Chain A
Amino acid sequence: MALIELRNVSKIYRLGGEEIRALDGVSLDIESGEFISIIGPSGSGKSTLMHILGCLDSPTSGAIKLDGVSIHDVSARELAAIRNKKIGFVFQFFNLLPKLNVLQNVELPMVYSGSFARDRRERAMQALKLVELENRAKHRPMQLSGGQQQRAAIARALVNNPKIIFADEPTGNLDSHTGEIILELFRKLSQEGRTIALVTHDPEIAAVTPRRIEIRDGKISKHLDPKLAGLDRVDSEHAARNMEQSAGTPTSAAN
C-alpha cells in the first residue's frame, strides 16, 4: 500500500465567475521511503498539488489516502492534526518565527502535539544535531545565515517524525553552494529512509531525486519513475512529446 494515494484529484478555483482548474484529474502514488520531486513552471499547479498532498488544502473532487486514511471531508481540526503528526514542511522563505530562538522554533510542532517540555527539548536537540545546528540552538533566526535557517526549518520539519516531508523550493532563496548543502542534507535524510517530496521549478534540483513528476496546466505531463525503468506511460500525447524533448536533460542513472 502506498503512503499517499491520489485518485483523479481536481482543484477548481472560481475567480469572478471564471473557472480555473489548478489541478485537473491528477492520480499519483507515493511509496514510503521515496525521494520524489514535483517539477513544473510557476502557475503549473505544482504548489496546489503540494498543498493538497500536504493537507493544507482539500481538493474539489477526487480521493486522497494518506497512510491508509482517507482524507475526505475531514474537518479543519483533523487536517491540522494530520499536518502536525504526519507531515513536515520546508519552505522557500524558511518561515521560522523571528521572536523565538532556533530551539523554540524546532519545538513548536511538539507544542501543538502536546508533548511534555522535557521531551520536547530532548527531541528538538536531536533534530538539531541531525542538521548540525546544535550549537546555534539559542540563536534567533535573524542571527543565522540563510543555509542555517533552512537547516533549522528542516529540523523543525523532522522533529515530529513525519511520514513525509514536503520541501517547497527549499533552495530558491539560497546561493547555489548553500543550495547544494541543503540538497545533500535531503539526500542523506532520504538514505536514512525518510520520504521526501521536493517541489521545484528547477530541473537541475529535480535531478537529485530518482523519481520525478512534471506538472503542466494542472496535469501530470511527465512521470519518470526508476521502477518503471523510464517507461512511465502517461497516456497523453502531450506528455509523450515532452518526454522526448527532455531526453537530453540530465537525469538520474535509473533512466
Chain B
Amino acid sequence: MNPWSAISIGLKEIWANKFRSLLTMLGIILGVSSLVAMSALVKGMEHGMKEALVAIGGVEKIRIDPEDIPAEQRHLEDQAVGCTIRDVYALQRSAPLIKLVTPEMRGMGYLHLTRGDREVDWASVVGTWPSALEMNEHVVEHGRMFNELDEENAWNVCVIGTGIRDQLFGSPEEAGREIIPIGESINIKGQPFRIIGMFQRYESEQEQKERELAKHQPKQQETGPARRRGWGNRGRGGYVFSAKNKTLYMPLSTMWAKFRQGGSGTNAVPDPRLSALLVKVADVELMEPALQQARNVLMHTHKGIEDFEFETQESWAEEITLRIRNARLSGGMIAAISLLVGGIGIMNIMLASITERIREIGIRKSIGATGADVFVQILMESVVIALLGGLAGLLASFGLVRFLGLLSPTENTPVITVTAMTLAFTFSAAVGVLAGLVPAFKAARLHPIQALRYE
C-alpha cells in the first residue's frame, strides 16, 4: 500500500468521526499554539531586554577609560602620556580586529546648557568625531551631523538629543507640536552654539507604546496638590534611553579648544588627553583576541605604562542570554507538557478506535493487508490527526498572540518566529508518531481469524 492511500484512509477515518477527531486534535492545537505563543512572548521579551543594550552601542562596543598608573609603575608617572588622539590613529592602523575607533572628550567640570531662562538639569556633553553616530547607534533625524570642516575650524556647532530639546524648547507633549530647533542658538557654559542637527527620539518599545496609548486616551486628571511623581515607571533600561536623549555632540576640536582650558596663564595649551576611547570589534566571537590586540597597541603608544582599562558589556549580554534561556526553558517545558497531554489524548482515542475496528482489521487482513499495511494505516491516522492539529495550532497561535497583545498593550510585542513554528510543528508530528506506535502495533499483531470472529 502506498503512503498516499494510507494518508487518504486516515483522512477518511477522521472525517467519518469529525467531532471525536476535533476533540482529539484540540489537545495538539492547544499544545502547538501555546508553544508558539510562549516562544513569541519570550522573543518579545528578548527584544525588550536587548534594545537597551543595542541603544548604548551593542556588545561589540568596548570602552577604554584612562586609569591610574599601577603601583609598580608609579615611578614612571612623569612619562605617562595618557589616552590621546595618537592612540586612536595607532588602533586604526594596527588593530585589524577593531573596525571602528572613536575618541571622546568631555569638558572640564560640568558644562551647563542654557537658553534664555531655561536650563538642562543634566546632559552628556561630548566632543567627538562624526563616527560617534555609528559607534553609539545615533540617528540624526533633523539637520545634519557636523563634518570635517566643522572639526577643522572648531566651529561652535552641536547636535542634540530630543531630551535637551524638551528642556530648552519644550517637548511635543507640552507644545502640542514637534519643535525642531535647527539653526537655533544655545549656550554651553556661556558660549553660544548653533544647533545643526537633532537625533531621533530614543525610547524603549514599551515607552513608545505607552506614549501611543496615552495619545488616544484623555489625560488623567491630577488629583491633589501638584507634585513631582518621582522616579517610578522608568522601566527596565529606561534610563539608558533618557540618558541617550540627553546627549550633545560637538566637534572634538571645538571641545578641546573651548572647554579644556585648564591650568593657568595665557600660554597654557588645552589638555589634549581624551576622556575615553570607544572601539567596536569586527566580530563579537573574536572579542578576546581583539582586546589583546588593542592592549598590545596601546601598551606601545603608552610606553609600557598600563594607565588604561577596558570595559565591555559582556556581563550584561550574558545576563540577557541567561534570563532568556531560563524563560524559554520554563515556558517551553509547560508547552511541551500540554503537547504531551495532547499526544496521550491521541493515543487514548486510537486505542479505543482500534478496539472498535478489530473486525475491520480482520477483513482487511483476510483480503491481503499485511501487518505492516495495518500498522501504517493506524500510524498514519494518528499522524494525520496530529499534523492537522499542528496546522490548526499554528493558525491558532496567531490569534493567541494577538489576544495576549490586547491583554497587555504596553508589553513588548510578541514575535512569532519561523523557528518556533517549525519546531512546534515538528513536535506535533513526533507526538503523532509516538502516540500512534502502540495502537498501530497492537492492530498489526491481530490474528486475522480471531479479528474476523470478533463481535
Interface residues, chain A, with chain B CB atoms under 8 Å away: 51, 54, 56-57, 76-77, 80-81, 83-85, 89, 91, 95-97, 99-100, 108-109, 111-114, 156, 160
Contact = CB atoms under 8 A, between A and B. Distances in A.
Interface in B338-363: 359-360, 362-363
Contacts of B251: none
Given A51-B449, A80-B371, 5 more contacts: A57-B448, A77-B372, A84-B367, A95-B363, A114-B1
> Is the interface on chain B under 10, 10 to 19, 20 to 34, or 35 or more residues?
20 to 34
A77 B13 contact: no
A89 B449 CA distance: 12
B366 interface: yes
A113 B368 contact: yes
B370 interface: yes
Given A97-B360, A111-B5, A114-B2, A85 B368 contact: yes
Nearest to B444: A76
Nearest to A88: B367
Contact of A83 (B5, B12, B367, B371): B367
A84 B368 contact: yes
A77 B366 contact: no
Contacts of A85: 368
A80 B12 contact: no
B363 A99 contact: no
27 contacts: A51-B449, A56-B449, A57-B449, A77-B372, A80-B369, A80-B370, A81-B368, A83-B365, A83-B367, A84-B368, A85-B368, A95-B363, A99-B12, A99-B13, A108-B364, A108-B367, A109-B367, A109-B368, A112-B1, A112-B364, A112-B367, A112-B368, A112-B370, A112-B373, A113-B368, A114-B1, A114-B2
A77 B5 CA distance: 19
B378 to A, nearest CB: 15
A84 B452 CA distance: 16
A58 B449 CA distance: 11
Contacts of B359: 95
Contacts of A113: 368
A57 B452 CA distance: 12
Interface in B1-41: 1-2, 5, 12-13, 16
Contacts of B452: 56, 91, 95
Contacts of B369: 80, 84, 112
B14 to A, nearest CB: 11
A81 B364 CA distance: 12
Interface in B422-449: 448-449
B1 A89 contact: no
Contacts of B373: 80, 112
A77 B1 CA distance: 13
A85 B448 CA distance: 16
Interface in B176-194: none
Contacts of A83: 365-368
A89 B367 CA distance: 7
A80 B368 contact: yes
Contacts of B364: 97, 108, 112
B371 A89 contact: no
Q: Which of B16, B363, B365 has the most CB of A within 10 A?
A: B363
A160 B367 CA distance: 10
Q: Which of B13, B359, B365, B372 has the most CB of A within 10 A?
A: B365
A56 B366 contact: yes
A56 B452 CA distance: 10
Contacts of A89: 366-367
Nearest to A89: B366
B192 to A, nearest CB: 88
A100 B12 CA distance: 9
A95 B370 CA distance: 18
Contacts of B1: 111-112, 114
A57 B447 CA distance: 9
Contacts of A97: 360, 363-364
Contacts of B368: 80-81, 83-85, 109, 112-113, 160
**Nearest 3 CB-CB pairs, A to B?**
A84-B368, A80-B370, A112-B368
A98 to B, nearest CB: 8
Q: Which of B16, B366, B373 has the most CB of A within 10 A?
A: B366
Contacts of B2: 114
Contacts of A108: 364, 367
Nearest to B13: A99
A95 B369 CA distance: 15
